[in-house]
Structure 1
């Protein structure tokens, strides 16, 4: 550890300590779950009182950056996955760009009869058979989302296709379908028993739900998708210009 307090700086001591701790928090080893250095060790390294370190750590705990676990120690709170509404990627591509490994906890592909609501969206007859893909996905720690997709019959999507691959890459390479537009509705709901079991949370916990209608380059509906996200696992960012 090579931390240093500069007595010549006009920045107050406790703010220097806080700045050092914030830098430590961003290190990959602590982001990955390594126990954060003890207050006494940080104080000894910096040659300052332990209370000063405790105050700085307490502030980061209050901000939700660090968490104290009784009998264990202090750890960095792993950052939520952040996705931007104005930057539409497949979930796989988005997470790859963030350096996160994605796991398919469950993948189910089957033919189902389109219920009236879906038939209305697709402008097809109720009970028309469509391909349904259910994916429970997350990182190495836990499931983060449950995704259910239905595909318009005109896409010629087949249940035999390899949907362990990124979905839109499959559509482009095997079905010659290129998606260019997504219309989305996002809301917060309380987790049902079924959703809670899938996402490994408690019934009634807040989750984010997103209903997405995906269109091809010629304006045709390709997919209708419902996604349910753990409330502690993802956040949306919106950038508005003027």
Structure 2
């Protein structure tokens, strides 16, 4: 897609820029999580001021179509709805609920991640990242399958003791503090692989939670997928209306 606006048009530049951005974010690569070009580069390409560009971006951010993070960039917000929440690690969540947890499987591997993960981390396609898979649940059976990918910048080796709480490892061993989480929650039918992991019939309903984790500088550190049995887990949200 060509990034261009008509400087001879009577339509104001910020309106043209806004319309262009709406077309850009519908492109497959941006729907899959790729960050938009940085403001300096895009303003130069369009031959407009950064102020004009920011005016258009701010409009889409206000509408919930874009998410902008300092030092990270601007990307499409694909969540149907979103709300800022206080968040806990899985171990903390279960401790609060008083649920005893058993680890059934733990697997570590170095992989070339799929496009959505590469775009979130902003890394090249040939770069491998550490992938952690865990199957967890109550002593009588598993109810959640986790997949986590970690940014190579952290320095994880794969030799860590992942029986320890994950964020304790990151903070104590690598001085990386998980500070911000963004989540997408959706429902889906279990495919053959997930059905086998969670001891379900293929096609059974499961809850899918996608979590994007950032450090204190708002740099991406973890891309996490959690697949829960729908009959064993309830995701509760408490919010207070702003006055």
Q: Report the counterpart of residue 37 of structure 1 in structure 2.
A: none
Runs of 4+ with deviation above 6 angstroms = none
Kept after mapping to 2: 8 A contact 1:104/1:136: yes
Task: Report if the CA contact (8 A) 1:133-1:148 is conserved.
Answer: yes
Larger mean CA deviation between 232-241 and 213-222 belongs to: 232-241
Distance 1:122 1:212 in 2: 13
Shift of 1:241: 1.8
Q: Secondary structure at the match of 2:179?
A: strand
With normalisation by structure 1, the TM-score equals 0.63
Contact 1:115–1:127 (8 Å) recurs in 2: no
Classify the secondary structure of the residue corresponding to 1:235. coil
**Alignment gaps of 5+ in structure 1:** 1-84
Distance in 2, Cα, partners of 1:147 & 1:127 = 24
CA separation in 2, counterparts of 1:115 and 1:188? 21
Residue matched to 2:77: none
SS in 2 for 1:170: helix
Match of residue 173 from structure 2: 174
What's the counterpart of residue 19 of structure 2? none
2:144 is matched with 145
Quote the Cα distance in structure 2 between the aligned partners of 1:192 and 1:115.
Answer: 19
Cα distance in 2, alignment partners of residues 104 and 198 from structure 1: 13
CA contact (8 A) 1:189 1:209 kept: yes
Q: Deviations over 1:151-181 (max 9, x none)?
A: 0011111100111111101111111100111
Match of 1:89 in 2: 88
For residue 196 of structure 1, what is the aligned residue in structure 2? 195
TM-score after normalising by structure 2:
0.63
Larger radius of gyration: 1
Partners in 2 of 1:148 and 1:216 — Cα distance? 19
SS in 2 for 1:105: strand
The structure whose residues are more often strand, as a share, is: 1
Output one character per residue of 1:91-149: Cα deviation in whole Å (capped at 9) or x when no partner. Answer: 11121222222111000011111222211111000121100000000011110100000
Helix, strand or coil: the match of 2:168? Answer: helix
Contact 1:206 1:231 in 2 (8 A): yes
- After superposition, the CA RMSD in angstroms is 1.5
Paired position in structure 2 for 1:184: 183
Mapped partners of 1:182, 1:154: distance in 2: 18
The residue matched to 1:114 in structure 2 has which SS? Answer: coil
